[in-house]
Amino acid sequence: MGDADSGLTVKDRHAAVYIELRQRICLLDYPPGAQLSEIALAGEFGTSRTPMRRVLARLEEEGLVQSVHGVGTIVTDADITELEQAYRLRVELTGLTGQLDPVAPDTVFLTQLQGLIDRAAQMIVSGTPRSFTELDMDVFQTLLHLTANEPLRQVLERLYYQTKRLWLVKAIKAEVDLQEEYGIFLHELQAIRIALESGDLMAVAQIQRAHISMSFNRLRKQSAI
Amino acid sequence: MGDADSGLTVKDRHAAVYIELRQRICLLDYPPGAQLSEIALAGEFGTSRTPMRRVLARLEEEGLVQSVHGVGTIVTDADITELEQAYRLRVELTGLTGQLDPVAPDTVFLTQLQGLIDRAAQMIVSGTPRSFTELDMDVFQTLLHLTANEPLRQVLERLYYQTKRLWLVKAIKAEVDLQEEYGIFLHELQAIRIALESGDLMAVAQIQRAHISMSFNRLRKQSAI
DNA sequence: TGACAAATCGTTGTGCACATCAGGCGGGGA
DNA sequence: TCCCCGCCTGATGTGCACAACGATTTGTCA
């Protein structure tokens, strides 16, 4: 946390804390069941409990933590049966990104995408569940720019971070075929690039939609064992 | 506000305050631009600023108010150009209600619906923009039970209250044909009942979707004058 | 030795005093 | 008369002390 508050407003600092905590939860630095201390977090981020409680309240609304009076603030469990509804909604909403306010990519975007594809190729050689999840988050944030519909982006972001922990939990328990996952992901990105170069944003959305749906089915198959 | 806190937990009381303020904003008791005082609201609801600030923070995330340091908490403007994206997303998501976890209605539900239809018929005789909006809210909450997908319900509820003020603002400015609106709404409810009695929840969703879309088009036509 | 009850500890929730900030009002000078 | 600077007011944001609550531990009695 290099305090580089150069020109940053206070509101931005709070948003940064929120994003940081969300990252820690979704990367399982704070695993399900972990207890977050308001005082400790306030000390770490150089503030007091009052602003920290606002951040935690937002995390609670997103369903990532749960605060109980007298007990503590606990990281919620990533249960596949409870998150199935969210996952299926995410599938459908991803399909809408090519329909509602699609944004044609510029050359900068295509360059970024190529960088992400290169990182995905590197995953096959030396990838860990954690580094793969970090890459997946970057890809998500990048592809989110393909729609200008702000409410849709907000909902998709919410659903993404609600459901993303499922994969990493299973991956750490060695219940997924990592090499298969890496290969499928690289293939998806290449397909997206092809669709993008042909200017077919509807196709891009459908490719994402299909892969999210298939990814969920693989997770369900693994949990049925 | 009859303090009937019989068996209600503290959390429920806060939720009730949130719903009450949301209602006041969407019924234009607090019109766009109105300033909400944390201290005054805390006094009215018999609490202090701290819990009230949490409620206002949630309203701010929903986009209904905006808090600015040193200025105040202001009810946001209901601008049709800014809410167009939310409206179009709401149209698509309403169509999904018949697809994601549809719930077959029971006899109690059908009885409730008939009561709403009767109220809609009464609107044509003696309806005001405000009472019509109250009826519309009750209809929305009732029809929301037709899907069991909790994330979808939350998003739909959010989008509904974000966009609902548009109609009431125009209606109060006498920029909508009230009798036409009442008639269309009654017709919609009757169509929904017919689809419901035939057990076709997909049709119910499409009927709602179509009417929300057409309602928005009527609003746009009026604002283009 | 077991079971029950009371106390203790740590946590989140609340209330209040103060800091911080933006806008408006008024006075003074050109 | 106009403009500008500084104060003043009222708002939200923050920090702290205390209340409320739940889990655990400890002590006592049978």
φ/ψ of residue B70, rounded to 5: 90, -10
pLDDT at B75 > cutoff 80: yes
pLDDT at A224 > cutoff 90: no
pLDDT in tens, B164-209: 999 999 999 999 999 999 999 999 999 999 999 999 999 999 999 9
Nucleotide nearest to A39 (CA to C1'): C11
- For residue B50, give the chain A residue with the closest CA: A50
Predicted pLDDT of residue A3: 42
Are A15 and A23 contacting, i.e. CB atoms less than 8 angstroms apart?
no
Report CA(A65)–C1'(D25) in Å, whole number. Answer: 28
What 3-state class would DSSP assign to B35? strand
Q: What is the sign of the dihedral through the CA atoms of A93, A95, A101 and A107?
A: positive
State whether A85 and B57 contact (CB < 8 Å).
Answer: no
Whether the CB of A50 is less than 7 Å away from nucleic strand D comes out as yes
Q: What is the sign of the dihedral through the CA atoms of B132, B138, B143 and B148?
A: positive
Q: What are residue B102's DSSP bridge partners?
A: B147
Average predicted confidence (pLDDT) for chain B: 95
Q: What are residue B154's DSSP bridge partners?
A: none
Predicted pLDDT of residue A171: 97
Q: How many angstroms separate the Cα of A201 from the Cα of each of A12, A81, A93, A205, A215?
A: 32, 32, 14, 6, 21
What mean pLDDT do residues B122-130 have?
97
Report CA(A127)–C1'(D30) in Å, whole number. Answer: 64
Predicted pLDDT of residue A87: 98
State whether A100 and B85 contact (CB < 8 Å).
Answer: yes
pLDDT in tens, A135-184: 999 999 999 999 999 999 999 999 999 999 999 999 999 999 999 999 99
Pairing mode, strands A35-36 and A72-75? antiparallel
pLDDT at B2 > cutoff 90: no
Predicted pLDDT of residue A196: 97
What mean pLDDT do residues A14-20 have?
98
Report CA(B36)–C1'(C28) in Å, whole number. Answer: 37
Q: Which two tokens stand for residue A99?
A: 């329909």
What mean pLDDT do residues B105-123 have?
97
Predicted pLDDT of residue A108: 96
Q: How many other CB atoms are there within 10 angstroms of residue A118's CB atom?
A: 11
Instruction: Compute the count of residue pairs across chains A and B with CB atoms less than 8 Å apart.
Output: 53
B-chain residues near A69 (CB < 8 A): 10
Predicted pLDDT of residue B223: 64
Nearest 5°: the CA angle A74, A78, A81 is: 130
Whether the CB of B9 is less than 7 Å away from nucleic strand D comes out as no
Categorize the per-residue pLDDT at B3 as very low, low, confident or very high, splitting at 50, 70 and 90. very low
State whether B85 and A150 contact (CB < 8 Å).
Answer: yes
pLDDT in tens, B139-150: 999 999 999 999
Q: How far is A188 from chain B (nearest CA, A)?
A: 26
* Nearest Cβ partner for A85 among B10, B61, B150: B150
Categorize the per-residue pLDDT at B221 as very low, low, confident or very high, splitting at 50, 70 and 90. confident
pLDDT in tens, B10-37: 889 999 999 999 999 999 999 999 999 9
**Kind and range of the H or E run holding A123:** helix A107-126
* Nearest Cβ partner for A54 among B57, B100, B162: B57
pLDDT in tens, B34-61: 999 999 999 999 999 999 999 999 999 9
Q: Which two tokens stand for residue A138?
A: 């970057």
φ/ψ of residue A219, rounded to 5: -60, -40
d(CA B53, CA B46): 14
Predicted pLDDT of residue B224: 61
State whether A100 and B88 contact (CB < 8 Å).
Answer: yes
Q: How many angstroms separate the Cα of A197 from the Cα of each of A110, A146, A203?
A: 8, 13, 11
State whether A89 and B100 contact (CB < 8 Å).
Answer: yes
Q: What is the sign of the dihedral through the CA atoms of B125, B126, B130 and B135?
A: negative
A-chain residues near B92 (CB < 8 A): 96, 99-100
What mean pLDDT do residues A9-19 have?
93
